[in-house]
Structure 1
Amino acid sequence: MWGVIPAAGRGSRMEEHHVDGCKELIEIGGRSMLLRTVDELVAAGVTGIAVVTSPEKPAIAEALADFDAADLEFVEQSEPEGIVDALRKAREVVGDEMLVASPDNLFIGHPCPSAELLAAHRLTGKTVIGAVQVTSPWGELLSDTGRIDALNPGASGELLITGICEKQKDQPFPMDGENWRCTGRMLLTSRFWEEPEGDDVQMLDSLAAVGELVAAPIAAAYIDIGLPEGLAYANSRLN
């Protein structure tokens, strides 16, 4: 299975922190988020890595010029049309199944979060989402996006996601329950591409409704580096 890194977005919220025009090249603890994500996918054992990037971000390819640990392909997304569009373009190179890792997300305390998704997929054959439990103090800085409705045990010991709540970017993430949240880690199967076209939340929620979406819990401190608050918090932890 190939890994896919979506890296074509403008990252306008992080523009003042960009390195060579790219938020993916922001360094935490002396290593860029792009290279941290590549390291993780290689450790998970992917066949190759497809990086979806923009012609406006040549520094992404330059940063990977010496990479030789796995096959590497660059996929162009000329306009930032969202994550599903980026993955459709990657699909033309890697096929239906892919392990998606966003370079926005930092996991402290877990050597390879992507390995958890592969293990859940081997158990069930289903589409898998990496899930973390949001905790304080970082949780209070998040908006209400990616919230998982509930996790229920399945017949094979897996954790089935019952639904993914609609994004409410103007609301804080509620901290009054188990606080499960999707991360920037997904393992997509051919079943995902059979869903009616929509954004990522809509398509994944459709899978959840028919018992085809599984959670891979990731025991780690999770930080979204795609937010200025997240970058500041990560630097306070690792720099």
Structure 2
Amino acid sequence: MQGLVPAAGRGTRLGALTDERPKGLVEVAERPLLAYAFDAAIDAGVTELVVVVGYEGAQIVDRFGDAYRDVPLTYVHQRERLGLGHAVLQAEPHVDERFLLVNGDNVFADALDPVVEAADSPGVDGALAVESVSREVARTTGVLELDDGTVTGIVEKPDEAPSTLVTTGCYVLPPEIFRACRLLRPTAEGEYQLSEAVGLLLHAGYTFETVEAGDRVNVNTPEDLDRAAALVS
């Protein structure tokens, strides 16, 4: 199984920590943040990783080289940071099968095997790692639309959240996601949202299972670094 790790961002909310290095190389418990995403993907069965780099991306290439834990690494460059949907499209020439996507700034406490296993169920096209949040938090991210427990869509940063289940930056996606990403229109901020591309597949009849992600930290601030370090200690 192939894996995709988006890691193009600078991480401006980390302040001076990313003045001269990319977000993925900021350390959590004395290890680069990206190492946790790589480990999670490999432990879930990934045998090849495609890494999307951008800001100071050469540093990531220099740090990890062409393999990590004997798993080959392929790098693609996102020259303009235009959202996760745009990042995924940069990897299209290197991905030709269903793949596991793990955001490079996420630290998961639990293994991701259940997400992969859910996607392997008969009649299922993909899987989403999700978590339950307050409705206030749900208005700031991608929220699942549900019909009797079945995922029917995803809405990004809604004024009124249709549920309290949200995406977590971990997906198993079919290769058709690239076609869906090409159909996206930019948001008001000029970004192309992966959650909207998944929503297009759902509306086209594709089936996605959901799996509770367990404890995780999406690292955006210095305080998140402390929380992530506590999670892995």
- TM class by shorter chain equals 0.7 to 0.9
* Post-superposition CA distance 1:170-216 (Å, at most 9, x none): x7x97xx9721101111111332343611312211222234424233
1:37 and 2:6 matched: no
* Post-superposition CA distance 1:38-74 (Å, at most 9, x none): 1111111212011111273222112213634211111
The correspondence of residues 62-101 of structure 1 with structure 2, limited to 5 A, is: 62-65=62-65, 67-101=68-102
Whether the aligned pair in 1 keeps the contact of 2:124 and 2:208 (CA below 8 Å) is: no
The correspondence of residues 123-142 of structure 1 with structure 2, limited to 5 A, is: 123=121, 124-134=123-133
Whether the aligned pair in 1 keeps the contact of 2:124 and 2:207 (CA below 8 Å) is: no
Q: TM-score, normalization: structure 2?
A: 0.80
Whether the aligned pair in 1 keeps the contact of 2:168 and 2:213 (CA below 8 Å) is: no
Q: Which residue of 2 aligns with 1:156?
A: none
Correspondent of 1:145 among 135, 141, 148: 141
Correspondent of 1:191 among 176, 193, 196: 176
Correspondent of 1:221 among 187, 208, 215: 215
Which shows bigger deviation, 34-43 or 139-148? 139-148
1:102 and 2:88 matched: no
* Post-superposition CA distance 1:147-191 (Å, at most 9, x none): 2233645xxxxxx312212325xx7x97xx972110111111133
Task: Report deviation, 1:238.
Answer: 5.4
Whether the aligned pair in 2 keeps the contact of 1:4 and 1:50 (CA below 8 Å) is: yes
Whether the aligned pair in 2 keeps the contact of 1:101 and 1:186 (CA below 8 Å) is: yes
> Alpha carbons of 1:42 and 1:147: their partners in 2 closer, same or farther (altered >3 Å)?
same
- Aligned residue for 2:142, secondary structure, equals coil
In the alignment of these two chains, the number of paired residues is 222
- What residue identity is the alignment partner of 1:2? Q
* Post-superposition CA distance 1:82-134 (Å, at most 9, x none): 222221221201225321110211222x1x22x22211111034122211223
Distance in 1, matches of 2:24 and 2:136, equals: 24
Distance in 2, matches of 1:231 and 1:142, equals: 22
Whether the aligned pair in 2 keeps the contact of 1:5 and 1:101 (CA below 8 Å) is: yes
Whether the aligned pair in 1 keeps the contact of 2:127 and 2:211 (CA below 8 Å) is: no
> Alpha carbons of 1:50 and 1:238: their partners in 2 closer, same or farther (altered >3 Å)?
closer
Which shows bigger deviation, 85-94 or 50-59? 50-59
Structure 1 vs Structure 2 CA RMSD: 2.9
Distance in 2, matches of 1:61 and 1:151, equals: 44
Task: Report deviation, 1:17.
Answer: 2.8
Q: TM-score, normalization: structure 1?
A: 0.78
Whether the aligned pair in 2 keeps the contact of 1:151 and 1:215 (CA below 8 Å) is: no
Distance in 2, matches of 1:105 and 1:55, equals: 18
1:165 and 2:164 matched: no
Task: Report deviation, 1:140.
Answer: 7.0
Q: Which residue of 2 aligns with 1:206?
A: 200
Gaps of 5+ in 2: 185-192
Stretches (4+) displaced over 4 A? 139-143, 235-239
> Alpha carbons of 1:37 and 1:238: their partners in 2 closer, same or farther (altered >3 Å)?
closer
> Alpha carbons of 1:229 and 1:73: their partners in 2 closer, same or farther (altered >3 Å)?
same
Gaps of 5+ in 1: 154-159
> Alpha carbons of 1:202 and 1:14: their partners in 2 closer, same or farther (altered >3 Å)?
same
Q: Which residue of 1 aligns with 2:189?
A: none
